[in-house]
Amino acid sequence: MIFDTHAHYDDRAFDEDRDELLSSLPDRGVGRVVNVTSTLESLEKSRDIAEKYDHIYTSAGLHPTEIYDLTLSDLSYVEELCSYEKCVAVGEIGLDYHYPDTNVRMQKDFFAAQLEIAIRRGLPVIIHSRDAAKDTMDTMRSYDLKDIGGVVHCYSYSLEMAREYVEMGMHIGIGGVVTYKNGRKLKECAQKLPLESIVLETDCPYLSPEPNRGKRNSSLNINYVAQEIAHIRGLTIDEVKSATWDNALRLYHMDSARG
């Protein structure tokens, strides 16, 4: 079995076949999925999905580019979802400076407030960081997160920075980009980081791996990610699946028997 630690099945891209696809995952080798929230609307949608399927869990968090019409008081909805028994993390949260209209101060305020929710609730964090390497790291350094841990999702920075995150108690999320020819930095991380620090993810419907790049992604493609990591590290795909399954259980504070 394989564990997809980061998916977005509440996305409209799955409206036509969501039930059929999600129902089929366990029989097709995907044992667990965490559906990760990004907007206020997705909080309720993701909980509904987790309620319907035993093998799917949810997170609670607001993506840094989805906060501009909100106030910090809206984070009460995030904290409320943290009480749900199948909510396993706070995320995805972080910083994203990719777009020209970025409100850096507002992003930092929401990031810090959601880190504090995670600490209060004892939940791991799912970190989104795009074009914001220094500020993300500086913020993370200012909190003691070793007790809760977390994952830097869709990792895109250097091996040296990844090693620092691992020292902080974080996991590194590796998805479809590791299969791309231009994914050199991520391939290096996949090769040289301790295997116990790596988890697999799709970020579906985005970032499909080769050979399906450019098409809608789903958890059914995660085998390509595991296969590439196995090739890079000189392991069997079963060894990668087994190790990353255990890593994901540890990341999300789950025990192996949890349904």
Please, are residues 171 and 151 in contact by the beta-carbon 8 Å criterion? yes
Closest Cα partner for 60 from 71, 72, 45? 45
Q: Is residue 131 left, alpha or beta, with left meaning phi > 0 and alpha meaning psi from -120 to 50?
A: left
Give 19's Cβ-side CA count (13 Å radius). Answer: 2
What pTM does this model have? 0.97
The pLDDT score that the predictor gives to residue 255 is 79
**Which tens digits make up the pLDDT trace of 222-231?**
999 999 999 9
Please, are residues 150 and 170 in contact by the beta-carbon 8 Å criterion? yes
Residue extents of the structural domains in the chain = 2-251
Fold for domain 2-251? TIM Barrel (3.20.20)
**2 vs 245: CA distance, rounded Å:** 6
CB-based burial, 73-89: b 16+ in 10 Å, e otherwise: eebebbbebbebebbbb
What residues have CB less than 8 Å from 44, skipping those under 6 apart?
none
The pLDDT score that the predictor gives to residue 259 is 39
**37 vs 78: CA distance, rounded Å:** 10
The pLDDT score that the predictor gives to residue 258 is 42
Digit-by-digit pLDDT tens for the chain (259 residues) are: 999 999 999 999 999 999 999 999 999 999 999 999 999 999 999 999 999 999 999 999 999 999 999 999 999 999 999 999 999 999 999 999 999 999 999 999 999 999 999 999 999 999 999 999 999 999 999 999 999 999 999 999 999 999 999 999 999 999 999 999 999 999 999 999 999 999 999 999 999 999 999 999 999 999 999 999 999 999 999 999 999 999 999 999 997 644 3
> What is the Cα gyration radius of the chain?
17
Please, are residues 130 and 96 in contact by the beta-carbon 8 Å criterion? yes
Closest Cα partner for 110 from 67, 155, 166? 67
Burial class (CB in 10 A: 0-12, 13-18, 19+), 41: exposed
